[in-house]
Amino acid sequence: MRAVPRKPKAPSCDQCFFRKNHLCALELDQPCSTFRPHSPDGLVPPTQPALLIRSEPPRGATEAAPALPAAA
């Protein structure tokens, strides 16, 4: 029998760190943009995307921008 991947459940306000610690004053139907999952470790910052270092600069990055005319 094959394992069928389950869809992750959508987060709810009841799972939010701020709601669990009585720090939320919003009454919304869905989690807001400040939603952070409640965990035993406390408030955990969101994961940041990895910084990718390019081996060569992007095209056009070495060209100087045209100078603006001087104000009279």
**pLDDT tens for each residue of 17-60:** 999 999 999 988 888 888 899 988 888 887 888 988 888 776 76
Confidence of residue 72 (pLDDT cuts 50, 70, 90): low
Residue 2: predicted pLDDT:
75
Residue 17: predicted pLDDT:
92
List the domain boundaries for the chain: 10-38
CA gyration radius, the chain: 23
